[in-house]
Structures are given as C-alpha cells and as structure tokens.
Structure 1
Amino acid sequence: MALESLFLRLDRIAGGRQAGVAISEAGRTHPKTVRAFTWILWLLVAELVLGVGAVVVALILAVDGERVPFAVWMRTLIVLAMTATLFYFAWRARRGWRWAYQRLRLFAQIFPVITLVMAAIPGLYPVWMVTEQIVFSLIMIGIADFLTSDHMRSVFAKDPQADSTSAG
C-alpha cells in the first residue's frame, strides 16, 4: 500500500487537479476496455523492443567504427524514456484513472506526427533510423486507434456529476 501511496503522489504531479478522477468499476472491467488495454500493452512492448533494437544497432555501428550522429543517440534515449512514460500512463489508465487515459491518448496522437516530421528532415537520421521512426509511428497510430474508439471515449468521458472517485 505504501507503494500505491507513492504512485498517487506521482499521479498528482502528472494528473494535476484531475488526478483523483476515476472511471466506474464497470467501465474499467468491461471486456472491451480490458481487451483494448491488452492490445495497448502489447503495442507498447513492441515499441520497447523497437527502441532497444535502435540502441543496439547504434552501439554495434559505433563499435564497428562508424560515426553515429548525436541526433541518433538522442532519439534512441528519448524513445526509451517516452515508452517508459507511456507504460506508466497505460498502467494508471488501466486502473481507471481518467487523467492517465487523457495523457496516453494525447501522446499517442502527437508522437507519430512529431516522429514523422523529424524523419522527413533530410540528413538528420540515417536510413535505418528513419525506418525505425516510421515503424514507431505506425505502432503509435495503432495505440491511438484503440484509445479513440467509441467505447474507450465513452468509458473515459468526463462525468459532470463526479468530482472524484476511487479506482481499484
């Protein structure tokens, strides 16, 4: 329970005034909600594997004596940090916290755009990194698709009657 207390404090920082707002237990345990979060988890695992793979490729290239641009190193570290953050948001959203769902949905919609714009800048990244960014974006679009489904939007819709409830 002490660990959950720590997470609730972190939620307060990440969620602001909305940190205590949770969806209903029925919405949280609905089969469509559970299925969506199961898919989201697996897609995030794929993102993690992709991110670790990019680090491994960059390391192999550097060890082989090839110059790995600073932008590649930054991109690989940022992707891993982003993925960790998205795992946290997904975990908290799966537990019913509305703020976490909102953050996850926002980032799942924004990150692909940013990533594709960055990939389109000529010469910024090597071809293998551009390919990684395109795959990353496609996976994020998949996550966003689950999060913006009619079911998920209705389950996580703002309830004007409830200021805060407890999520399990």
Structure 2
Amino acid sequence: MTQHLPALSVRADRAWTRLRLDRLAGGRQGSYVIREDMLAHADTVRSFRWIRWLLIAETVVGLTAIVVAAVLTRAGQDVPWAVWFRATVVLLITLTLSVFAWRAQLGYYWAYQRLRLFSRIFPIVTLVVAAIPGLYPFWMVIEQIVFSVLMVGVGDVLTSDHMRTTFPKPTRGATRDR
C-alpha cells in the first residue's frame, strides 16, 4: 500500500503504526483498510488531491487569522480573547483533519469516517458561533464563513458516490489489515 507514497510519508506511517495510533484513534476498526484497487483508483486519487488542497486552504485561513490578530494587537487595537481562542482552535482542528485525511488516503476506514463526520459538523458549529452578535469582529466572521465553505467542500468530496463506494462500512468482525 505504501509503494505510491513519498519516503517521508512511508516513514511517518511506520512510526504511526508502530505506536498503534490507528487502534487508539479508530477503535476496533482501527486496522481496517479498504481494498488496494479502490485506493489506487483515479477518482480516489483525484478526490484526495482536492481534499488536500482544501485543507491547505483551511490552514492558510487559520494562519491568516492568527497573523491578522497579531498585527491588530501590535497596532494597539484590542483583540478579544475569543478571537485568539477561535483562531488557534481552527488551526488545530485543521491540522487534526489533515491527519485524518492522511490516514484515509492510506485506506483507513476510521479516518475517512471521522473526516466525513467532522466536515459536516464543523461548518454548522462555526456558522452558529459566527452568528452570535458581538462575539467576533467582522473580519473574524468572514474568516469563519470561509472556513465553513472550505469544510463543506471537503464534505462534498467525501460524500460523493465514488468515495462512499470506495469506503464501504466494514461488516461486523471485519479486520482487513495492510
């Protein structure tokens, strides 16, 4: 499964596997991986390319929010604690989703499911919080809307017919290891 990955990714995968983090994160389905032919399918590869670019854009949005807050603070403006908290949390969430995307790209069902679930939940939570009057400055509300739109894009890719076929729900007791 690792023949199409760069050497750094292969080393990271070995370290991750050695620490048994898939079992920790994925529970009893932690070792279940999809069929290699589905993983190597052109549509699957294309889908993960889109997801990677969307998550890179999410990371840029998160970093930009922190930079804007820092610049405003340095310029003497009062930046509320909620802005710093939100910007940091968005960045950490995005980095976590990137790990899920990496594991899903390697075929781990648990990672696909978590990425799919969070790409549905986070936009809703983000938009509800953004709608609270006075909680965030206008620029942060815009940042949250952009974050949500990008996350909806990730969710759309993950819920395509092809991706749902590629990552079928494991049957009870399925333990397809690498």
Once the two structures are TM-superposed, the CA of residue 159 in structure 1 deviates from its matched residue by 3.7
Once the two structures are TM-superposed, the CA of residue 103 in structure 1 deviates from its matched residue by 0.3
Structure 1 residues 1-150: aligned runs within 5 Å: 3-8=12-17, 9-150=20-161
Q: In structure 1, what is the Cα distance between the partners aligned to 2:111 and 2:36?
A: 16
2:160 is the alignment partner of 1:164: no
* Root-mean-square deviation over aligned CA pairs: 1.5
Once the two structures are TM-superposed, the CA of residue 161 in structure 1 deviates from its matched residue by 7.6
Aligned AA (2:42)? P
Once the two structures are TM-superposed, the CA of residue 160 in structure 1 deviates from its matched residue by 2.4
Unaligned runs of 5+ in 1: none
Aligned AA (1:166)? D
Once the two structures are TM-superposed, the CA of residue 2 in structure 1 deviates from its matched residue by 7.1
What is the CA deviation profile of residues 79-137 of structure 1, one whole-angstrom value per residue up to 9, with x for unaligned ones?
11101100100000000000000000000000000000000000000000000000000
Once the two structures are TM-superposed, the CA of residue 10 in structure 1 deviates from its matched residue by 1.5
Once the two structures are TM-superposed, the CA of residue 5 in structure 1 deviates from its matched residue by 4.4
Unaligned runs of 5+ in 2: 1-9
Query: Alignment partner of 1:21: what SS?
Result: coil
> How many residues are treated as equivalent by the alignment?
167
TM-score by length of 2: 0.90
Aligned AA (2:161)? D
Q: In structure 2, what is the Cα distance between the partners aligned to 1:22 and 1:75?
A: 34
Q: In structure 1, what is the Cα distance between the partners aligned to 2:79 and 2:169?
A: 46
Question: Structure 1's 162 and 35: CA in aligned 2 closer, same or farther, altered over 3 A?
Answer: farther
